[in-house]
Structure 1
Amino acid sequence: MRRRLLLVSTNYAPEHAGIGPYATQIAEHWAAGGHETHVLAGMPHYPAWSLDPAYAGVWRRTEERAGVVVHRRRHTVPARQTALKRAAFEASVLAHGLLAPPSMARPHAVLAQLPSLAGGVIGARLAARWRVPYVPVVQDLMGAAAAQSGIRGGDRAAALAARAETYALRRAALVGVIHETFVDKVAAMGVDRRRIRLVPNWSHVQGPSGSRAETRRRLGWDDAETVVLHSGNMGLKQGLDILVEAARRDPKIRIVLLGEGNQRAHLEELGADVPNLDFMPPVGDDAFPDTLAAADVLAVTQRASVLDMSVPSKLTSYFAAGRPVVASVAAEGGTAQEVLRSGAGVLVPPEDPDALLAEIRRLGADPTAADALGAQGPRHVEAHLTRAAGLARIDALIDEALGGPST
């Protein structure tokens, strides 16, 4: 049956990091399947937290991308993250989304990605207005993240975020979570466990296709040096100071930070005197897989105070690249569990540069072992994280919410 579906996601293409690629691939999958697909999104700004110049001065815009009708609404874009500025961001998303909802006929169902908080609330309100099933997918819980963020006013922000998340999740027909570590938290908000479904993210990039040696030459990476690459958002939660310190302690290791984020300027200042620390702007989708694969080690880091239940989108891309992962994260979190499950990486304690360097040196000194470890990543992707499997789980979630067979 041809359906009319609405996806609410503050982040959407052309944003290439975070949850934006997942929203884009879900919507384009629906459209390719013959469904009338609408997306309510914000203005492109992530991960740089800077408005895409193509949308400067735009208040509202409706555009078509790959058969999807995208309804964009203006909101604040805080260059620096404080509790007050993040609240203003969420409030502006919420207000504009509710005051100017998509101009469309009544959909069959509404799916929303959390975060943002505002997107979850908007999805719940619009679904109630239309009297159709509402299905949120929890990519992260902002209440817990705000409490651990280190942002001034984080405790108050955490309480407000938890209230908004509880409001949105309790009104859902079904709740999707990307990792099993979210189940207890969502249930504690008053959601019946029988309405929670596991819908893991998938690897949203293709595997590498070019020559590692040629890519390294193009990037200026010497074959004799060990290159450690971190890709994605440079925010407070990532605790990337540890990689700056690692580069400072061992000049034989090149540390590359690829991407954008509100902490990039701070990190550049912190590492201004470290010659083996490089900053790279985001690369296009065509070059991204080969860039990851050209590194010797791929790094994922989090601050010691962060017990992150989510699995960062970079991790599925790392697995597809076929390089070993060193994860400087809490052993109890979702990231650590997924690294161990994949067999493609090792864990070290967060904010411990000596432990991090020890693993990097070990892998750099034994390329055969590093290659064998990294090779587990594509196998894990093929077995568990293919795009087809991930999108099929989303389809099953919508089918069940609309009265189809239970999964």
Structure 2
Amino acid sequence: MTRPLRFALIADTFPPFRTSGAVQLRDLSREFARQGHQLTVMLPAAGLAEPWTLEQVDGVRVLRLRAPRTKDIGYVRRTIGEFLMPFAMRRQLRRSPLANEQWDGVLWYAPSIFHGPLASALKKASACKGYLIVRDIFPEWAVDMGLMGRGLPYRCFSAVARYQYSVADVIGVQTPGNLSYFSEWQRGPGRRLEVLQNWLDKPASARCPIRISESALAGRKILVYAGNMGVAQGMDIVLELAGALAARTDVGFLFVGRGSDAGRLRGAAQARGLDNVLFFDEIHPDQIPDLYAQCQIGIVALDPRHKSHNIPGKFLTYMQSGLPVLANVNRGNDLAGIIRSAQVGQICESNQLDELVALAHQLLEQVGADPALPARCQALFEREFSVGHAVQQITAALARDAG
């Protein structure tokens, strides 16, 4: 490559948000800068007093554009806000110093499904290619979960998603199992479909305020869940697992994060009098390594009604920290094959408590008997989930016709 390339990245989450998507995009943007490229991240920002703000963060330009609110509000207001979001962002972009910037490539991140109009406008203005990073196949997963039927709302969301797909020249899905969903899209001229593994950078290591040694779980082997606790995760069986293991005074469960089910799960644990469970609010991503250093097993949970494949960001953080995983996922999920082939934990695809309990006992025993287990976890991370490889793959796809 003879010159640095100029890329625009459109997303709806980025620090100071602490979601896994925000952390992923922060890490991706840092790696673009490390590899010598010029990246500008474009984000919607509700409540800005001015049309736009521009800052430099870790060698990356971050352009925040005033747009309707889409976070922590009701579904109807959120849908309206997300529909208006790309048009508001485009309008404010025209008023910003970057209005006439030319790009060698445009990439954008789903969720959300609503970035298509802005991505299309940027591509046309620069006559460049577009790369869509798909981490969430919506509205299909919502139908799988029973949150939505196939009526008018589904058809509207599906039309929006299909338009976004039509704008892309390259789509990167996170597992081979998701390739088939885009088989019809792939038939279009000049389109390419590929697997773009999830990624994670090496985090800073800040002290975590959660000190297990000073808690009611001191001295126990800790199974930790850190991340969103919502409908898509199907966390109830994990709480049932904690209840089933309550008699083991050497085992404790730690839940750290937020989400639509977090309060309900906390209340259920209190109502059942589970003294082997602790809940904490979400922590800064840089504190995650110190938290995991105090734990022995990471928990992955996905509602069994899912039909698509998903490799949660928390799985990457567990592997990076050398934590084997106990996973309860939908049958056939590609994650099951990864865990089994790399021998980095135990996985339940039946959503049956008895099987999950047996696997938990087995993994707890293995943690004490298999000293090579943490090294296998870290080796899997380095081999498959490097942020450097992700940037090289995206850049190669976008650079083919750049300049």
TM-score of the alignment, normalized to the shorter chain, above 0.5: yes
Question: What are the superposed Cα offsets for residues 271-290 of structure 1, whole Å, 9 maximum, x if unpaired?
Answer: 22233221122223332113
Equivalence for 2:354: 354
1:7 Cα offset (Å): 0.4
Evaluate the alpha carbon distance shift between residue 85 and residue 243 of structure 1 in structure 2; reply closer, same or farther with a 3 A threshold: farther
Runs of 4+ with >6 A deviation: 55-59, 207-210
Change in CA separation of 1:372 and 1:86 when aligned onto 2, cut-off 3 Å = farther
Quick one: distance in 2 between partners of 1:157 and 1:256?
37
Identity %: 20
Give the TM-score taking structure 1 as reference length.
0.84
Q: Does 1:5 align with 2:22?
A: no
| Residue 48 of structure 1: aligned partner | none
The two structures have a TM-score, normalised by structure 2, of 0.85
Tell me how many residue pairs correspond in the alignment: 389
2:378 is the alignment partner of 1:378: yes
Structure 1: tracts of 5 or more residues without a match: 44-50
Partner of 1:266: 264
Q: For 1:128-167, what aligned pairs fall within 5 Å after superposition?
A: 128-151=124-147, 156-167=152-163
1:231 touches 1:259 (CA, 8 Å); kept in 2?
yes
CA distance in 1, matches of 2:78, 2:325: 31
Does 2:115 correspond to 1:119? Answer: yes
**In structure 1, which of residues 79, 101, 105 is the aligned counterpart of residue 72 of structure 2?**
79
Give 3-state SS (helix, strand or coil) of 1:118's partner: coil
Contact 1:208/1:321 (8 A) holds in 2: no
The whole-number CA distance in structure 1 between the counterparts of 2:81 and 2:338 is 31
Separation (CA, whole Å) in 2 of partners of 1:355 and 1:56: 50
Q: Judge conservation of contact 2:40–2:63 (CA < 8 Å) in 1.
A: yes
| C-alpha distance in 1 between matches for 2:73 and 2:362 | 37
Question: Which of 190, 193, 198 lines up with 1:201 in the alignment?
Answer: 198
Cα distance, 1:111 vs structure 2:
0.7
Which amino acid in the other structure matches residue 72 of structure 2? A
Q: Tell me how far 1:183 sits from its aligned partner.
A: 1.5
- C-alpha displacement of 1:208: 8.0
Gaps of 5+ in 2: none
Residue 150 of structure 1: how far off its partner (Å): 3.1
Q: Could you say what secondary structure the match of 1:230 adopts? A: strand
- How far, CA to CA, are the matches of 2:372 and 2:155 in structure 1? 45
Aligned 1:168-247 pairs, distance under 5 A = 168-192=164-188, 195-206=192-203, 216-218=212-214, 221-223=217-219, 225-247=220-242
After superposition, the C-alpha distances for 1:323-368 in whole angstroms (9 at most, x for unaligned) are 2211101231233233234321221135422222221122224433
Look up the match of 1:300.
Answer: 300
Question: Does structure 1 retain, via aligned residues, the 8 Å contact 2:131–2:394?
Answer: no
Distance 2:74 2:233 in 1: 14
Which amino acid in structure 2 is aligned with residue 259 of structure 1?
Answer: G
Higher mean displacement: 91-100 or 325-334: 91-100
Query: Match of 1:108, as an amino acid?
Result: D
Aligned Cα RMSD in Å?
A: 3.0
Q: 1:8-56, CA deviations, whole angstroms, 9 ceiling, x for partnerless residues?
A: 011112233322222222222333444332111134xxxxxxx9xxx78
Distance in 1 (alpha carbons) for counterparts of 2:227 and 2:370: 22
Shift of residue 218 of structure 1?
Answer: 4.9
Superposition map of 1:90-109 within 5 A: 90-101=82-93, 103=96, 104=98, 105-109=101-105
Return the alpha-carbon distance in structure 1 between the equivalents of residues 377 and 176 of structure 2: 20
Flag the 1:88–1:246 CA change in 2: closer, same or farther, 3 A: farther
Tell me the SS of whatever aligns to 2:118. helix
How far apart, CA to CA, are the structure 1 residues paired with 2:62 and 2:370? 43
Answer whether contact 2:132 2:168 (CA < 8 A) is retained.
Answer: yes
Q: Does structure 2 retain, via aligned residues, the 8 Å contact 1:228–1:295?
A: yes
Aligned equivalents of 1:370, 1:208: Cα separation in 2? 26
Q: Distance between the aligned counterparts of 2:68 and 2:167, measured in 1? A: 25
